[in-house]
């Protein structure tokens, strides 16, 4: 089983992406899970500015995989809210599993999959900071963005009901281009594993973040962009820095969890496999200096080394009054910054 990060591929890049991925043999006969970072947009449909979207041919990637499963729990689903259900149905018609959106009166349900006698369940979640600043104003379809304590309670109850199922949580969190995991999200990951989750995987920062074992279970805090090309989106103005040109995958099996490193959108390449290492290997360890730190030590480390500091709170708790105040402030901050930018562009 291989977990990958964010994928968004426009029409002009799709054939190269599909051909490239299908040549990378590490995906052969594997279960591949990734974050589909955008809805599927037909070539003839009008693109909105400041949005991400995927070509319909994205379903042709990973053709040699045993199964492909995708999370839709991300804020860019709300770039085209009317297409969420269509995207889901299109994926399912192409035998791709889907999780991370709320259906059936807003219930949070995982994607369940049986493979070789083992039962798996995949839950997706998007930090509501982002769905509140890129909201769905077109319909009632929603990605899973419940308050963290509510989401954790749902996962807990599922595990109690189905203790023999291996549960994985795929989380969309942290700030763009932040190299270190938010202390709150580290705490959430550990609390989920304390409840019986088999592994936690994160994305959204668009750059690789560290990983660690906790009680023998893998946590990959940020996989980065598996493929999200620069100079294609936001009218060609979305460009990622050099440290976003690396990405890793978490490979989970019964014997050992491994890290697979790739270059992505680098030197005109699409995606290329670089190397494989253990979760204690030197490359991932450079990003995982927190592995031996206590919660208090990591909070101090994060405050000193984080990238996003301008009026950005340091989240530690993920529920309660303090967290609610911090979240509301962060949402207000984003809206004010966007308003200022809109004035400057006039």
**Which of residues 256 and 29 earns the better pLDDT score?**
29
Phi first, then psi: what are they for 107, rounded to 5°? -70, 140
Q: 311: exposed, middle or buried (C-beta count within 10 Å: 0-12, 13-18, 19+)?
A: exposed
Residue 339's pLDDT is what?
80
> What 8-state DSSP symbol labels residue 236?
T
Q: In the predicted model, is pLDDT for residue 345 greater than 70?
A: no
Band of residue 149 on the pLDDT scale cut at 50, 70, 90: very high
Write down the pTM of the prediction: 0.96
Percentage of the chain modeled with pLDDT above 90:
85
Distance CA 16, CA 243 (A): 22
pLDDT for the residue 105: 65
Confidence of residue 135 (pLDDT cuts 50, 70, 90): confident
Asked if the model's pLDDT at residue 103 lies above 90, the reply is no
**Rounded Cα gap, residues 137 and 73, in angstroms:** 17
Rounded mean pLDDT of the chain? 95
* Whether residue 258 has pLDDT greater than 80: yes
Query: Per-residue pLDDT tens for 31-85?
Result: 999 999 999 999 999 899 889 999 999 999 999 999 999 999 999 999 999 999 9
pLDDT of residue 18: 98
Average pLDDT in the 99-109 region?
85
Q: Answer left, alpha or beta for residue 305, where phi above 0 means left and psi between -120 and 50 means alpha.
A: alpha
Q: Where are the domains positioned within the chain?
A: 2-291
Q: Which of 167, 228, 212 is nearest to 1 (CA)?
A: 167
Which of 294, 55, 254 lies closest to 166, judged by CA?
254
So what's the pLDDT on residue 275? 97
Residue by residue, DSSP assigns 279-319 as TTSHHHHHT-GGGG--HHHHHHHHHHH-S--TT------SS
Residue 346 has pLDDT above 70, yes or no: no
Q: How many CB atoms lie within 10 A of CB 9?
A: 28
CATH of domain 2-291: 3.60.21
Q: Can you give the pLDDT at residue 160?
A: 98
Give the pLDDT confidence score for residue 310 in this predicted structure: 82
Q: Which helix (H) or strand (E) holds 276?
A: strand 271-278
């Amino acid at each position: 089983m291989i977990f990958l990060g964010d994928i968004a591929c426009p029409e002009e890049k799709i054939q190269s992406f599909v051909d490239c991925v299908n040549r990378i043999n590490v995906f052969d006969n594997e279960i591949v899970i990734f974050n589909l970072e955008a809805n599927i947009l037909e070539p003839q449909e009008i693109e909105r500015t400041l949005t991400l979207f995927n070509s319909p041919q994205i379903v042709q990637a990973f053709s040699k995989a045993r199964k492909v499963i995708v999370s839709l729990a991300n804020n860019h689903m709300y770039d085209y809210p009317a297409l969420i259900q269509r995207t889901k149905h299109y994926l399912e018609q192409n035998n791709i599993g889907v999780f991370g959106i709320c259906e059936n009166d807003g219930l949070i349900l995982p994607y369940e999959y049986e493979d070789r006698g083992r039962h798996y369940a995949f839950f997706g979640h998007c930090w509501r900071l982002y769905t509140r600043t890129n909201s769905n104003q077109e319909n009632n379809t929603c990605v899973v963005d419940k308050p963290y304590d509510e989401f954790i309670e749902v996962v807990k109850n599922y595990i109690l009901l189905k203790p023999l199922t291996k549960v994985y949580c795929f989380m969309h969190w942290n700030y763009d281009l932040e190299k270190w995991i938010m202390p709150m999200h580290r705490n959430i990951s550990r609390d989920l594993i304390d409840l019986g989750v088999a592994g936690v995987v994160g994305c959204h920062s668009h750059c690789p973040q560290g990983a660690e074992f906790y009680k023998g279970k893998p946590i990959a805090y940020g996989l980065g962009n598996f493929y999200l090309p620069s100079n294609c989106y936001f009218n060609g103005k979305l460009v990622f820095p050099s440290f976003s040109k690396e990405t890793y995958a978490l490979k989970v099996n019964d014997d050992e969890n491994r890290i697979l490193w790739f270059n992505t959108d680098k030197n005109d390449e699409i995606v290329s496999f670089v190397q494989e290492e253990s979760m204690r290997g030197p490359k991932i360890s450079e990003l995982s200096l927190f592995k031996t730190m206590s919660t208090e030590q990591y909070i101090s480390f994060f405050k000193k080394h984080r990238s996003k500091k301008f009026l950005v709170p340091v989240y530690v708790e993920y529920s309660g009054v303090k967290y609610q105040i911090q979240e509301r402030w962060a949402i207000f901050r984003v809206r004010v910054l966007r308003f200022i930018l809109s004035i400057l562009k006039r």
